[in-house]
Amino acid sequence: MKQNSLIESIKARINSLDDELKALVVKLILDYEKKSLRIDKVIEQSDKQQFELLKLNEKLEESYKTLERVSQTDKLTSLFNRLKCEEILIDLIHHQSSFSLMIIDVDNFKSMNEKFDILTANKFLVQLSKLIQKNIQPNSVLGRWSGDSFIVLNEKLASDAMIEIAEEICDRVENYFFDSVGKATVSIGVCSVQKNKSLMDVVQSFDMALRRAKMNGKNQVSI
């Protein structure tokens, strides 16, 4: 009788233990599912943040490109500004065995400013820049060097070819009627640049060429 009672007790304990194990397994499964859900949310949030970071990075790159473009562009004419022209010029000096350039300066621009208002003078400069652009080689670099001066750089043209283009520009400007100011002329200095010259040397060279054109009567090309 006692033996039967012991067996029943053992069976009851086993059954009870099975229930506890089942309950434990169920609890573990529920805990796992909850943790899995939390992990999925973390992953989802991480993916969302990564997407937002990518978008932000794209906006930053776009802003950087815009800032770079603005820092290199003359606001009035949309040409390269002097800073960018100097950067290109220095690169050519260091990497090209020789190249040619011209500096174009408006004749009597001070008188034009006194005769017309600043908006009219600015409109003229925009029209002039477009006229110059039409009369230079496609692979040339055109920039605004100073208030009424423009620079043309070309790494492939010899100085003779650059002089020929400069003379053509002089003629075109002289015979063009600007609806802002009427008639106008320009003086142009042309120089050939050899490798390893300093930026100051080059600037002095084309500045002297321009001075000669001015001193000889303006509306002409000098070297």
pLDDT of residue 96: 83
Q: How many independent structural domains does the chain possess?
A: 2
- The per-residue b/e assignment along 177-192, b for 16 or more CB within 10 angstroms, e otherwise, is ebebbeebbbbbbbbb
pLDDT of residue 189: 97
Question: What CATH number does residue 114 fall under?
Answer: 3.30.70.270
Shared-domain flag, residues 47 and 92: no
Overall pTM surpassing 0.75 (yes/no): no
Q: Name which of 127, 103, 114, 118 is nearest 182 in CA terms.
A: 127
pLDDT of residue 107: 97
pLDDT of residue 125: 97
Residue 77 lies in a domain: no
Last residue of one domain, picked from the residues 38, 53, 72: 72
Cβ atoms 184, 107 nearer than 8 A: yes
- Round to whole Å and give the CA distance between 81 and 206: 18
Residue 113 lies in a domain: yes
Shared-domain flag, residues 193 and 153: yes
- Round to whole Å and give the CA distance between 25 and 19: 10
What SS3 class is residue 193? strand
pLDDT of residue 60: 58
pLDDT of residue 152: 97
Shared-domain flag, residues 68 and 87: no
Shared-domain flag, residues 100 and 146: yes
- Could you give phi then psi for residue 153, rounded to 5 degrees? -115, 140
Per-residue pLDDT of the chain (223 residues; tens, 9 = 90+): 544 565 556 556 556 656 666 666 667 666 766 766 676 676 677 667 776 667 766 665 665 565 556 678 999 999 999 999 999 999 998 888 889 999 999 999 999 988 998 899 999 999 999 999 999 998 899 999 999 999 999 988 888 999 999 999 999 999 999 998 999 999 999 999 887 788 999 999 999 999 999 999 999 999 9
Shared-domain flag, residues 58 and 136: no
Cβ atoms 193, 155 nearer than 8 A: no
How far, CA to CA in Å, does 12 sit from each of 4, 6, 9, 23? 12, 10, 5, 16
Shared-domain flag, residues 87 and 68: no
Shared-domain flag, residues 93 and 196: yes
What does the chain come to in residues?
223
Shared-domain flag, residues 86 and 28: no
Last residue of one domain, picked from the residues 42, 72, 102: 72
Shared-domain flag, residues 22 and 49: yes
Q: Which residue segment(s) compose the domain that 143 sits in?
A: 82-222
pLDDT of residue 22: 61
- Round to whole Å and give the CA distance between 169 and 187: 10
Those residues whose C-beta lies under 8 Å from the C-beta of residue 147, and which sit 6 or more positions away, are 109
pLDDT of residue 196: 75
